[in-house]
Structure 1
Amino acid sequence: MEPLIREARPEDRPFIEEIARLTWGGEDYLARVFDDWLKDGGFYVLELDGRVIGTAKMTLLPGKVGWLEGLRVHPDYRGRGYGRKLHSFMLELGEKLAKEGRIEALEFSTYFLNRESIAMAKKDGFSIIAKFFNLGAKVSAFEPERAERADLSMEDLAFGIVPLGWKFVHRSEEALKWLREKGEVYEINGFKFLAPRGEVTFTPLSTGLACLKAMLPGMAWVARERGREDFDLMIPSGMKPVLPGLKRLGLFLWDETEEPNVLVFRKGLV
């Protein structure tokens, strides 16, 4: 039977949960965002013989960007071209939305060791527009200190491309509004950091080792409040000089590397 790509439905949940359980050592976020993605739309699955074996999502971001995420294939079905089939479907969807004037480009982020996705993206005309370091930390490595909720202004957005978890938006008034809606801002010791609602990948809004050191107890507190034992820090590649200091503070890279481990890709459509 030929595989079918269709919009996701509520009854797909058990299949999605199974794929998430078998991805990234069970740490995949797919199951946590299932309901939100269904509500948002642009969430597709690949079905084979009545079984969902793959997923893909397009989220509309500020700046007329179609953000590609959630491309997954069940481990039992990898290496058979299903990932390419889903990717090609999303590219065609992007072209359709561009013709309708709804988006002007496709973007996505990926881990630096995701060689298959990187090769596929470059072949399809995507270029790297930004690089980041994603560092991990254990809550137990710090003495959590309460961080207070704060507001977000344009002055807080020092970077041209701003991370919110593993999504990235281009600095603008529209992006500021989106970040306020989708994220939460905390302040501790006079410094602010940003996080997606309910998640623990933090974006520091001030640079420098001393600033980050001052924020880490607050990040640990937020992570603990959210029932997590670990959290992540997303920082731009230009902060590479502070990496040794961050490691001394207890942060680590999941796969030891001297180069940025998160790549942001873009393909213009108009």
Structure 2
Amino acid sequence: MNPTIRETRPEDKPFIEEMAGLTWGGGDYLARVFDEWLGDNFYVLELDGKVIGTAKLTLLPGKVGWLEGLRVHPNYRGRGYGRLLHSFMLDLGKKLAQKGRIEALEFATYFLNRESISMAEKTGFSVKAKFFVFGARTDSFEPEEPEKVEPSMSDLTLGLIPVGWRFVRRSEEALEWIRKNAEVYDLNGFRFLVSKKGTTFTPLDVGLATLKAMLPAMAWVSGERGRESFDVMLTSGVKPLLPGLKRLGLYLWDETDEPNVLVFRKKLK
């Protein structure tokens, strides 16, 4: 039987939970966001009655169609199913562009995800930004409770703002989106944001001293969300600070001196 791509249904959840349990050592977030994504441009690849892949398009500020959640079950990789899903999402993006809903497709990926990078380059995407993502152990810091605050434009100090593994460009529209999808915290005048359900933090002021001050507050939020570890997303400009960042208790998932998160973009109009 030929594989088919269709919208996700509630009964697909067990299949996706199985895939999530086999991805990233069981740390995949797809199972956690399944109910939230259901019915919102969330698709599955089905083969012989079994869901073996997923893909998602999320509308972001600036008429961006954000591609995420592209997965193929480990037992079915290497057979072209990832490319099939990627092509389907490109066609979906073109249809949305024709309706005036988006003007570009974007996505972010880890620098070692060679298959995704190769597919992107072959289909007209180019790298528009690079970031570092660092890991940290929650119990490496003495937690300190921060204050939750309402963000303003003055808090958005970056041109491209990471919100978890989604990235939005600084604008009033992006500010409203952040207010709905993220939380901003303040500790002694230092601020950071984090998506409402994740633990990938973005400092809104970057420097060794400010990060050192914020990490205990990030650890507090991580602990409140029941996580043993958390991540910190930083601009590529921190490259000269790598030794100091590691002394603060941050670590890279894979040893590298170059940014390990790539943000791709393909203009559609």
C-alpha distance in structure 2 between counterparts of 1:260 and 1:237, whole Å:
6
Matched with 2:53 is: 54
TM-score, with length taken from structure 2: 0.99
Question: Counterparts in 2 of 1:169-248, with a 5 A limit?
Answer: 169-248=168-247
How many angstroms apart in 2 are the aligned matches of 1:198 and 1:78? 29
- Letter aligned with residue 66 of structure 2: W
In the other structure, the counterpart of 1:10 is 10
Show structure 2 runs of 5+ residues with no match: none
1:25 equivalent to 2:37? Answer: no
* 1:23-76 Cα deviation digits (max 9, x unpaired): 01100000000000005x100000000000000000000000000000000000
In 1, Cα distance between equivalents of 2:160 and 2:138: 27
How far has the Cα of 1:198 moved from its partner? Answer: 2.1
Shift of residue 239, structure 1, vs aligned partner: 1.4
Instruction: Tell me the amino acid that sits aligned with residue 267 of structure 1.
Output: K
Distance (Å, rounded) in 1 between the aligned partners of 2:239 and 2:10:
43
Equivalence for 1:99: 98
Distance 2:194 2:29 in 1: 15
Aligned equivalents of 1:55 and 1:252: distance in 2? 30
- Give RMSD over aligned pairs: 0.6
The amino acid that maps onto 2:31 is A
2-side partners of 1:167 and 1:201: how far apart?
10
- Distance in 2, Cα, partners of 1:2 & 1:249: 52
* Sequence identity percentage: 72
CA shift for structure 1 position 246: 1.2
For residues 86 and 226 of structure 1, the distance between their equivalents in structure 2, rounded to whole angstroms, comes to: 32
Q: Which amino acid aligns with 1:203?
A: T
- Separation of aligned partners in 1, 2:130 and 2:243: 18
In structure 2, distance between residues paired with 1:18 and 1:10: 14
| CA–CA separation in structure 1 for the residues paired with 2:131 and 2:50 | 36
> Offset of 1:243 from its aligned partner?
1.7
Name the amino acid aligned to 1:193: F
Task: After TM superposition, give the deviation of residue 207 of structure 1 in Å.
Answer: 1.2
- What is the aligned partner in structure 2 of residue 63 from structure 1? 62
TM-score by length of 1: 0.99
**Inter-partner Cα distance in structure 2 for 1:26 and 1:247:** 26
